[in-house]
Amino acid sequence: MGIYLDNQASTPVDPRVKAVMIEAMEHDFANPSSESHSAGWQARERVEQARATIAKAIGCGPDELIFTSGATEADNIGVLGAALGAPESRRRILVGATEHKAVLEAAFAAQRSGFSIELLPVDGCGLIDPAELRVRLSDDVAVVSVMLVNNEIGTIQPLDEIVRLSTAAGAFVHTDATQAPTAMDIDIGELGVDAASFSSHKIYGPKGIGALYISAAAPWRPRPLMFGGGQELGLRPGTLPTHLCAGFAEAFAILTDEGAAEREWVARLRDDFAQLLGETVASVKLTAAPPKRHPGNLHVRFDGIDADDLLARLQPQVCAATGSACTSGHTHYSHVLEAIGQPAAVAGQGVRFSLGRFSDDHDVRQAVEFITAAVEQIVGALAHQDSQALVRRQRCD
């Protein structure tokens, strides 16, 4: 697979998580909603143990946490579901301009139900100005959704004032916290939000499972977007995947025990990577420098070099990305880079490298060697094209 530097898109499954999942599949395979036999009771107990573990990790009550298929579904319930549950007098939704597509598309889907959507602008580091939010808040705002840690440029948003202002205006406050557990300690009570979305495959757990925190003190409950057997307090019906719940919980438990040391390690690797890259590639420039950012995130641009061309030349040696994996297959300008003021030509040079738990010094050194060689190839090819163009012009003259 080469050197994997795309951990913000998806992390490898930790072997300890895998072991827990296999054990759950072997012993707790029954439907956790089956109430008439011991196998179902046992599976249900395993699910509730997982829920309690995750709730403890983020600082909430187990009854404030529902399992979802991932952060995308959690975002949809936390934004669109919350909007649909709002009083009739509240028909505005405010979302950060650099939000994940799952939040943006969920918000714009609410337009079909009569809501208006407003994007909160950010500065060059991806930070929202609370003063701008204050101007827009009023008693007709239903939902305010602002991402805690950005998935492209790594910005950690200081939510304190944003949450305080939004709560004072009576709005339902949601945050996409998908990238947060690997970037910082999570205390959901201190954050003060009404809802927060999480994903397992961003924290070395399996894909296909996520969670939505909904505060018991939220001003109202979101409405369900799907219907069925009434599982998860009626907000997310469907048979719960016991082994995925167990794996998700184990991933959170590992972060609880090892997260602080891991973040320090990853940040050191990231800084070493940035330094080495800067020493060997003159054209590299940091995209944004927020006061606080994800420890594994390094978003840079290579001046004059097309990012897609660079990544193609790095295959299969280095795995990185030009933006969010959830917009893969779409060759358009990153809305995050647009929001921080980068023109399309500059944004097209941007690459996100994201280091993680299983990255090491050898990966960093080798990646820099591969990147340097690829950049030199591109520079040489461009120079050759320019010389050929000059020859053709001279012949025409």
Q: Catalytic residue positions?
A: 326
Q: 334, 337, 298, 335: which is closest to 318 by C-alpha? A: 298
- Put the strands of the sheet holding 195-199 in their side by side order: 65-68, 210-214, 195-199, 172-176, 141-145, 92-96, 116-120
Tell me if 298 sits within 8 A of 321, measured CB to CB. no
* DSSP state letters, 351-362: EEEE--TT--HH
* Dist. CA 198–CA 237, nearest whole Å: 18
Distances (CA, A) of 305 to 257, 298, 352: 42, 17, 14
Residue that the structure tokens 């996409």 belong to: 176
Task: Tell how far CA 397 is from the center of its chain.
Answer: 55
Tell me if 263 sits within 8 A of 270, measured CB to CB. no
Contacts of 249 (CB under 8 A, 6+ apart): 20, 49, 50, 51, 53, 54
Residue 316: cis peptide before it, omega within 30 degrees of 0: yes
Tell me if 299 sits within 8 A of 286, measured CB to CB. yes
* DSSP state letters, 159-210: -HHHHHHHHHTT-EEEEE-TTSTTTS---HHHHT-SEEEEEGGGTTS-SS-E
* DSSP state letters, 313-342: HTTTTEE-BSS-GGGTT--S--HHHHHTT-
